[in-house]
Structure 1
Amino acid sequence: MTDAPPGTAAQSSAQGQPAARPSTLLLCLSHLRWNFVFQRPQHLLTRAARGYEVLFVEEPIFHPGISPRMDLNRTPQGVTVAVPLLPEGLTSDAVIAAQRSLLDELLAPEAGRPMVVWFYTPMALEFAGHLNPDLTVYDCMDELSAFRGAPPRMLELERALLARADLVFTGGRSLYEAKRNRHPKVSCFPSSIDTAHYAAARAGQADPEDQADIPHPRIGFFGVIDERMDAELVGALAAARPDWQFVMIGPVVKIDPAALPRLSNIHWLGGRQYAELPRYLGGWDAGFMPFAQNESTRFISPTKTPEFLAAGLPVVSTPITDVVRDWGPKPDGTAGLVEIAEEPVTFAAALQQVLERPRAPWLKQVDRRLAQMSWDQTWAEMDGQIEAGLRAATLRQRPAADTTLRRASHV
Structure 2
Amino acid sequence: MSNHSKQAVRQPFAQEHTRLIGSERGASISSTSFAHQTQDLICFSHLRWNFVYQRPQHLLSRASRHFRVWFWEEPVADQQPWLEVRPINPKLHILVPHLPAGTDPQTQHDYQRRWLQELLAQQQITDFVAWYYTPMALNFTEHIQPRLTVYDCMDELSAFRGAPPQLREREKQLMQQAQLMFTGGQSLYEAKKNLHPSVHAFPSSIDNHHFGQARLGLDDPADQQALAYPRIGFSGVIDERLDIQLLGELARRRPDWQFVLLGPVVKIDPASLPQGPNLHYLGMKAYEQLPAYFSNWQVAWLPFALNESTRFISPTKTPEYLAAGLPVVSTPIRDVVSTYGECGTVWIADGVEEFERSIEAALQNPSALCWSRIDAQLAQCSWQQTWKDMHTLILEQFQLQYQKHSLYE
Asked if 1:390 corresponds to 2:403, the answer is no
Q: Which runs of 5+ in 1 are unaligned?
A: 330-334, 403-411
| Residue among 295, 315, 319 paired with 1:302 | 315
Asked if 1:264 corresponds to 2:267, the answer is no
Range that drifts further, 180-189 or 366-375:
366-375
Q: Does the aligned pair in 2 maintain the 1:23–1:113 contact within 8 Å?
A: no
Give the CA deviation at 1:395.
3.4
Note the C-alpha offset of 1:366: 2.1
Per the alignment, do residues 151 and 181 of structure 1 end up closer, same or farther by CA in structure 2, a change over 3 Å counting? Answer: same
Is 1:2 the counterpart of 2:8? The answer is yes
- Please say if 1:148 is aligned against 2:126: no
- Structure 1 residue corresponding to 2:68, chosen from 50, 53, 57: 53
The whole-number CA distance in structure 2 between the counterparts of 1:9 and 1:142 is 38
Q: Name the structure 2 match of 1:104.
A: 117
The answer on 1:239 being equivalent to 2:252 is yes
Q: 8 Å contact 2:40–2:125 — kept in the other structure? A: no
Tell whether 2:299 aligns with 1:293.
no
- Give the secondary structure class of the aligned counterpart of 2:193: helix
Compared CA separation, residues 114 and 100, structure 1 to 2 (3 A): same
SS at 2:301 equivalent:
strand
Asked if structure 1 preserves the Cα contact closer than 8 Å seen for 2:345 and 2:369, the reply is no
1:364 and 2:367 aligned = no
Q: Residue 360 of structure 1: CA displacement?
A: 4.8
Change (3 A) 1:202 1:78: farther
Identity across aligned pairs (percent)?
A: 51
Deviations along 1:1-54, one digit per CA (max 9) or x if unpaired, are 735789x97699xxxx95533321000000000001100000100000111101
Contact 2:246–2:351 (Cα < 8 Å) also in 1? yes
- Cα-to-partner distance string for 1:89-145 (whole Å, 9 max, x where unaligned): 221111111111111111112446320000001100001111110000000000000
Aligned equivalent of 1:139 = 152
Kept after mapping to 2: 8 A contact 1:135/1:393: no
Aligned-partner Cα distance in 1 for 2:327–2:143: 48
Choose from 243, 252, 257 the match for 1:230.
243
Q: Give the Å deviation of 1:341.
A: 0.2
2:188 equivalent to 1:182: no
Distance 1:146 1:196, change over 3 A: same
**Contact persistence 2:345–2:371 (CA under 8 A):** no
- Residue 324 of structure 2 is matched in structure 1 by 311
Confirm or deny: 8 A CA contact 1:122 1:158 kept in the other structure.
yes
| Whole-angstrom distance in 1 between the partners of 2:372 and 2:91 | 36
User: In the aligned structure 2, how far is the partner of 1:174 from the partner of 1:277?
Assistant: 27
Return the offset for 1:370.
1.2
Of 43, 47, 50, the residue aligned with 1:28 is 43
TM-score by length of 1: 0.91
Cα drift, residue 365 of structure 1? 2.1
Q: Corresponding residue for 1:409?
A: none
Structure-1 separation of matches of 2:365 and 2:396: 47
2:351 to 343, 346, 350: 343
Q: Flag the structure with larger Rg.
A: 1
After superposition, the C-alpha distances for 1:47-99 in whole angstroms (9 at most, x for unaligned) are: 001111010000001113x1x22101111484200000112222111111111
* Distance in 2, Cα, partners of 1:374 & 1:213: 34
Q: List per-residue Cα deviations over 1:244-278 (Å, max 9, x = no partner).
A: 00000000000000000001100000101100100
Deviation at 1:243, TM superposition (A): 0.1
Q: Which runs of 5+ in 2 are unaligned?
A: 1-6, 10-19
Cα distance in 1 for partners of 2:231, 2:369 equals 22
Distance of 1:310 and 1:245 partners within structure 2: 22
Distance in 1, Cα, partners of 2:187 & 2:160: 16
Question: Secondary structure at the residue paired with 2:280?
Answer: strand
